[in-house]
């Protein structure tokens, strides 16, 4: 899924690579029709951010790792875009935390679930990782949500205490917070309902955020995490990006 014709020295290589991964995932039937729109919204915010990891995003990523590594039942949730863009790093993170990943998609159809589960199993095998992959047989529902998007596994999302839900929809984020979980969101849009409502928000591009999280060490200095200050800092960084243009 990673072959791409563009030259790695191209200034927009990272962005082209992500688009290519989404195109490939769409061909495999992993994505909802609106997936490219959600990605485009993220790209616009990343442009304003200067396509870089800010100091406050780094602090948020460190706090996220601190909470995940101390959780009793951590779980990592993957939707189609997350699977397409960052399946390998999500699996590496799950292996490091010894926790399950759960495929949990907004527009659930049996075809999309099969396509995503098949891809995740393929990547797990290629990376030789021992990770429990949930999503194929939901046996519980997230209270407060209606329809197929409420479906989840008791062993995974339902009973988790700390959950990483990158690129999450605002309603589901709110429902997970209402269940008393520590909800960690990765979202380039500091104005989104998910970014606002989460317990911890990493305002950074998904693959950059995951690589920061994977390079985190227990001994790293841990500056205090302030949710509102993190969002304000992202607004400020984006405004500065505009003012300096």
Pairing verdict, β 151-152 and 74-78: unpaired
45 binds ligand ATP (CB under 6 A): yes
39 binds ligand ATP (CB under 6 A): yes
Residue pointed to by tokens 């988790």: 160
Instruction: State in Å, rounded, how far the first CA of the chain is from the last one.
Output: 35
Taking CB under 6 A as the binding criterion, the range among 7-15, 185-193, 217-225, 234-242 that sits at the site for ligand ATP is: 185-193
φ, ψ at 131 (rounded to 5°): -130, 135
Q: Quick one: which of 88, 102, 205, 233 contacts ligand ATP (CB under 6 A)?
A: 205
Half-sphere exposure of 174 (CA within 13 A, CB side): 8
Residue 59 CA to residue 66 CA, distance in Å, equals 10
Q: Quick one: which of 30, 38, 68, 117 contacts ligand ATP (CB under 6 A)?
A: 38
23 binds ligand ATP (CB under 6 A): no
85 binds ligand ATP (CB under 6 A): yes
Taking CB under 6 A as the binding criterion, the range among 2-10, 33-41, 68-76, 211-219 that sits at the site for ligand ATP is: 33-41
Strand partners, 141: 151
Residue 243 CA to residue 234 CA, distance in Å, equals 14
Shortest reach from residue 198's CB to ligand ATP, in Å: 9
41 binds ligand ATP (CB under 6 A): yes
Scanning residues 157 to 176, which ones bind ligand ATP (CB under 6 A)?
Answer: 167, 169-170
Burial bucket for residue 131 (CB in 10 Å: 0-12, 13-18, 19+): buried
Scanning residues 218 to 237, which ones bind ligand ATP (CB under 6 A)?
Answer: none
**Contacts with ligand ATP, residue ranges (CB under 6 A):** 38-39, 41-42, 45, 85, 167, 169-170, 186-189, 192-194, 205-206
């Amino acid at each position: 899924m990673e072959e791409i014709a563009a030259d790695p020295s191209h200034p927009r290589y990272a962005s082209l690579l992500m688009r290519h991964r989404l195109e490939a995932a769409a061909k495999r039937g992993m994505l909802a029709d609106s997936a490219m729109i959600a990605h485009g919204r993220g790209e616009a915010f990343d442009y304003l951010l200067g396509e870089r990891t800010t100091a406050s995003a780094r602090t948020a990523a460190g706090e996220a790792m601190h909470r995940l590594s101390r959780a009793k039942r951590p779980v990592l949730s993957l939707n189609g875009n997350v699977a397409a863009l960052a399946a390998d790093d999500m699996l590496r993170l799950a292996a490091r935390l010894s926790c399950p990943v759960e495929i949990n998609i907004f527009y659930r159809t049996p075809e999309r679930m099969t396509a995503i589960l098949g891809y995740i199993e393929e990547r797990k095998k290629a990376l030789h990782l021992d990770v429990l992959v949930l999503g194929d047989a939901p046996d519980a529902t997230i209270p407060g949500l209606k329809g197929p998007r409420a479906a989840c596994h008791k062993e995974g999302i339902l009973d988790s205490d700390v959950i990483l839900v990158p690129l999450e929809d605002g309603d589901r984020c709110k429902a997970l917070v209402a269940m008393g979980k520590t909800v960690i969101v990765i979202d380039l849009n500091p104005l989104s309902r998910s970014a606002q409502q989460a317990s911890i928000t990493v305002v950074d591009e998904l693959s950059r955020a995951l690589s920061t999280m994977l390079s985190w060490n227990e001994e790293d200095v841990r500056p205090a995490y302030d949710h509102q200050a993190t969002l304000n800092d992202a607004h400020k960084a984006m405004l500065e990006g505009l003012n300096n243009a």
